[in-house]
């Protein structure tokens, strides 16, 4: 975990997979591993676009693993908990460790988990809210790629500030 970041998003991976229609369909039509990979890709795009450090946590409590595994995949830290440890428990530990000095949000629709992490200094975001945020960022990225202004934006909102200042001086007759 890179502590140089100032904002973290902790994501309960299976909770999000089970809440987002496209990931549920991916899990049903292909397999759960494919849905995990798709969520990792989505969160990598999110992290790259926002600069937020994303930690994606998956339960492995039913697996025969005595150790927790962690990978960095496209800038996202992906954690598989050890046997007997839930994603919720791991997320709570991270919220405890970082919640007082860093800005942390936890993405889960588990109401009890939301209450616990808020008590530990983290903010909560539901799976639906995260999905809306991701969709909004995708649309914003597409506008940037197409060089389109956001709805309601004027030329003055998107023009380079130095150029705006120079144009203002010329309009006023200053040089």
pLDDT in tens, 81-131: 998 888 999 999 988 888 777 899 999 998 888 888 888 888 999 999 999
At 56 the pLDDT is: 97
SS3 67: coil
- Give this prediction's pTM: 0.77
pLDDT in tens, 7-57: 999 999 999 999 999 999 999 999 999 999 999 999 999 999 899 999 999
Q: When comparing pLDDT for 75 and 99, which is higher?
A: 75
CATH number for 7-172 (one of 3.10.620, 2.60.40, 3.40.50, 3.60.21): it is 3.40.50
The angle that helices 21-29 and 32-50 make with each other, rounded to 10 degrees, is 150
In the structure encoding, which two tokens stand for residue 4, read together? 């140089």
Which residues are bridge partners to 58 per DSSP? 80
Q: Residues with Cβ < 8 Å from 83, sequence gap 6 or more?
A: 60, 61, 62, 63, 64, 65, 66
Q: What does the alpha-carbon distance between residue 111 and residue 89 come to, in Å, rounded to a whole number?
A: 14
Q: What does the alpha-carbon distance between residue 150 and residue 104 come to, in Å, rounded to a whole number?
A: 28
User: Quick one: three-class SS letters along 7-65?
Assistant: EEEEEEHHHHHCCCHHHHHHHHHCCHHHHHHHHHHHHHHHHHHHCCEEEEEECCCCCCC
At 152 the pLDDT is: 61
Nearest to 81, CA basis, from 64, 98, 96, 95:
64
């Amino acid at each position: 975990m890179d502590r140089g970041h100032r904002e973290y998003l902790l994501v309960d991976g299976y909770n999000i997979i089970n809440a987002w229609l496209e990931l549920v369909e991916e899990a049903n039509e292909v397999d759960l591993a494919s849905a995990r990979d798709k969520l990792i890709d989505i969160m990598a795009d999110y992290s790259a676009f926002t600069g937020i450090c994303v930690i994606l946590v998956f339960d492995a409590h039913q697996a025969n693993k005595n150790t927790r595994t962690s990978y960095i995949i496209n800038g996202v830290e992906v954690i598989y908990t050890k046997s007997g440890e839930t994603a919720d428990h791991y997320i709570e530990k991270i919220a405890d460790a970082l919640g007082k000095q860093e800005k942390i949000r936890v993405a889960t629709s588990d109401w009890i988990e939301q209450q616990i992490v808020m008590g530990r200094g983290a903010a909560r975001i539901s799976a639906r809210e995260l999905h809306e945020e991701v969709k909004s960022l995708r649309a914003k990225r597409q506008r940037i790629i197409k060089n389109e202004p956001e709805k309601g934006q004027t030329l003055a909102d998107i023009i380079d500030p130095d150029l705006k200042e120079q144009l203002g001086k010329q309009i006023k007759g200053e040089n």
